[in-house]
DNA sequence: TAGGCCATCTGGTCCT
DNA sequence: AGGACCAGATGGCCTA
C-alpha cells in the first residue's frame, strides 16, 4: 500500500510539514501545552525538534526567574555534536523505523493467520483488524460455551454469539458464511433432504450423522422450524475435533494452520468475488446464472412468483428470463431486502418446473442477499418454465 | 466528501 | 545503550 522500499524510507523521515510550520505560528496555548505536557505534544511539533533543539538550548541560557537569578534546571541536554552525530542519529532513527515496520508486519502476519482460523476467511475481502479480533474473541467464546454445554448448540445461538459486537457487514458475512455451508443439507417441506450434492468440504471431511452425534436429551432447538434444515450443522466442523476427536492435538487436519475453518470452505467468497463489478453493487436483485463454459441456453421465459408463504419484507426480482440448462446448472437468485436492519439468518428456496426433471432447492446466506439455485438433470434441449418459486426466509 | 481503515513515522517508556 | 513496545499523528486509499 504505502509501503516504501527501505531505501526510500529516508524520504519519509524528513519532516513532513514541520519544516514549513514555524513554531512561531503555533498558538500560545499549544506551545505551553507542549512544554508542560510533552507526552501530548503533536508530532508536527516534534518534527522540527531536531532543527530547533540547539536554538532552544541557547534560548534557555537566557531564562531567569523573577529574582533575576538563573533558573534551576536539570541536567542539560547534550547538544548535538557535529554532522557525524546528526547522521548517526538519523541512521538510528531509520533503523528504528525499519524495526518498527518489521514489527508491525509481524503483527499483521499474526493477524492474518488469525483471520484464517476464524470464520469467514477470505483473501479478497479481509476482515478489518478490529473485526478479526472481535470475531476471534466471539469464536473462542462460542466454542467454549459449546464445550461446557457438551452438546451441539443451536445454529442461531451460535451465530448470535459469533456476531456479538460485530459490525453489520461482518455480521452478515459470518451469518452467511455459516449458512451457506448448510445448503447441501436443507430439507424440503416434507423434511427430506433434497439436495444430495457434496461440497468440497464434505468430500474432504466426513460428516457425522446428526442423530449419532446428538447427545441424548438434545431434542433440537426451540427454533425448530428454522433449525430443521440445519439439523446437520454446517458449522459442526468447528466442533468435530471435540466430538469426533477427543484430543485436539491428535492430528486433526482441520486446524493444522493450513486450512480455514470448514465453515469457510465452500467457495462463498469465490462466488462473491467472481461477481461482475456491477453485480454486487446493484441495489436490485434478480436471477443470475452461472453455467460452465460450453453449456447451452435452453429455455426462456421462465416465470417466477413468490408464494404466499413468503412472509417478509423482501422483493423478488427476476434478473433474467432464461435458464441455461444442460446437465447441472446453478442459478443465482437474489432478493432485495427492504429492511436491511433486520438480519436474515437463512433462506430456503424451492422451485418447481413445468417439465420433469429434478429440481433441487438450494439456499444461501440471506445476509448476502444471494441465493443460488441448483437445477439438476433438466434434460437436454427441453425448454421449461418454472411454475412456482417459494422463498422462505428466517428472520 | 466524510468516515473507516491502514501503513508509516516518531518520540516516549520500559526492559534487558 | 539499544531494542521492544506503545500511542499519537499523518496521509493515502476505498467506499457509501
Nearest C-alpha neighbor of A369 from the set A316, A309, A327, A324? A316
Q: Which of residues 327-386 of A touch strand C (CB under 7 A)?
A: none
Q: Choose from A120-134, A248-262, A290-304, A370-384 the range with maximum mean pLDDT.
A: A120-134
The pLDDT score that the predictor gives to residue A123 is 67
Which nucleotides of strand C lie under 7 Å from a protein CB?
3-13, 16
- Identify which has the larger pLDDT, A268 or A60: A60
Mean pLDDT of A355-370: 38
The pLDDT score that the predictor gives to residue A227 is 26
Place of cell 437468485: A333
> Residue A320 pLDDT more than 70?
no
Q: Choose from A171-175, A217-221, A279-283, A318-322 the range with maximum mean pLDDT.
A: A171-175
Q: Is the CB of A16 under 7 A from strand C?
A: yes
Task: Considering all nucleic acid strands, name the nucleotide whose C1' atom is nearest to the C-alpha of residue A130.
Answer: B5
Q: Is the CB of A92 under 7 A from strand C?
A: yes
> Residue A61 pLDDT more than 60?
no
Which nucleotides of strand B lie under 7 Å from a protein CB?
4-13
Mean pLDDT of A183-212: 29
Mean pLDDT, rounded, of chain A: 45
Q: Is the CB of A88 under 7 A from strand C?
A: no
What is the model's pTM? Answer: 0.41
Separation in Å: C10 C1' and A44 CA:
9
Q: Is the CB of A11 under 7 A from strand C?
A: no
Give the integer Cα–Cα distance in Å for A113 and A136: 11
Task: Considering all nucleic acid strands, name the nucleotide whose C1' atom is nearest to the C-alpha of residue A94.
Answer: B9
- Identify which has the larger pLDDT, A171 or A1: A171
The tens digit of pLDDT for each residue in A77-127 reads 344 456 777 777 778 888 888 888 888 888 888 888 888 888 877 766 788
The pLDDT score that the predictor gives to residue A238 is 35
Give the integer Cα–Cα distance in Å for A388 and A351: 6
The tens digit of pLDDT for each residue in A23-44 reads 333 333 333 333 333 333 333 3
Name the residues contacting strand B (CB < 7 Å). A 1-4, 9, 12-15, 38-39, 43, 46-47, 49-50, 93-94, 96-98, 100-101, 104-105, 108, 126, 128-131, 167
Amino acid at each position: 500500500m504505502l509501503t516504501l522500499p527501505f531505501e526510500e524510507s529516508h524520504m519519509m523521515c524528513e519532516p513532513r510539514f514541520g519544516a514549513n510550520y514555524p513554531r512561531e505560528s503555533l498558538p500560545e496555548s499549544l506551545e505551553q501545552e507542549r512544554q508542560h505536557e510533552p507526552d501530548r505534544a503533536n508530532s508536527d511539533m516534534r518534527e522540527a525538534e531536531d532543527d530547533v533543539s540547539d536554538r532552544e538550548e541557547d534560548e534557555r541560557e537566557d531564562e531567569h526567574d523573577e529574582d533575576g537569578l538563573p533558573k534551576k534546571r536539570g541536567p542539560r541536554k547534550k547538544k548535538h555534536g557535529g554532522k557525524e552525530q546528526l547522521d548517526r542519529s538519523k541512521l538510528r532513527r531509520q533503523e528504528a523505523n525499519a524495526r518498527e515496520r518489521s514489527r508491525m508486519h509481524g503483527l499483521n502476519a499474526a493477524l492474518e493467520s488469525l483471520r484464517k482460523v476464524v470464520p469467514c476467511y477470505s483473501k479478497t475481502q479481509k476482515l478489518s483488524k478490529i473485526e478479526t479480533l472481535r470475531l476471534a474473541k466471539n469464536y473462542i467464546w462460542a466454542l467454549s460455551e459449546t464445550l461446557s454445554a457438551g452438546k451441539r448448540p443451536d445454529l442461531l445461538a451460535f451465530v448470535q454469539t459469533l456476531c456479538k459486537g460485530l459490525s453489520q457487514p461482518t455480521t452478515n458475512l459470518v451469518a452467511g458464511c455459516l449458512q451457506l455451508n448448510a445448503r447441501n443439507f436443507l430439507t424440503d417441506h416434507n423434511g427430506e433432504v433434497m439436495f444430495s450434492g457434496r461440497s468440497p468440504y464434505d468430500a474432504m471431511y466426513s460428516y457425522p450423522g446428526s442423530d449419532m452425534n446428538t447427545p441424548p436429551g438434545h431434542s433440537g432447538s426451540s427454533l425448530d422450524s428454522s433449525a430443521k434444515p440445519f439439523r446437520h450443522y454446517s458449522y459442526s466442523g468447528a466442533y468435530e475435533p471435540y466430538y469426533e476427536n477427543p484430543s485436539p492435538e491428535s492430528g486433526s487436519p482441520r486446524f493444522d494452520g493450513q486450512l480455514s475453518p470448514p465453515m469457510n470452505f465452500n467457495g462463498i467468497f469465490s462466488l462473491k468475488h467472481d461477481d461482475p463489478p456491477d453485480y454486487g453493487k446493484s441495489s436490485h436483485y434478480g436471477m443470475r446464472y452461472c453455467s460452465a463454459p460450453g453449456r447451452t441456453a435452453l429455455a426462456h421465459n421462465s416465470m417466477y412468483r413468490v408464494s404466499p408463504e413468503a412472509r417478509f419484507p423482501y422483493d423478488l426480482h427476476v434478473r433474467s428470463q432464461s435458464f441455461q440448462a444442460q446437465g447441472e446448472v446453478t442459478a443465482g437468485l437474489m432478493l432485495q431486502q427492504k429492511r436491511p436492519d433486520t438480519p436474515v439468518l437463512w433462506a430456503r428456496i424451492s422451485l418447481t418446473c413445468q417439465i420433469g426433471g429434478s429440481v433441487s432447492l438450494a439456499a444461501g446466506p440471506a445476509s448476502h442477499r444471494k441465493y443460488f439455485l441448483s437445477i439438476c438433470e433438466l434434460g437436454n434441449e427441453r425448454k421449461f418454465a418454472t411454475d412456482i418459486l417459494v422463498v422462505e426466509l428466517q428472520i
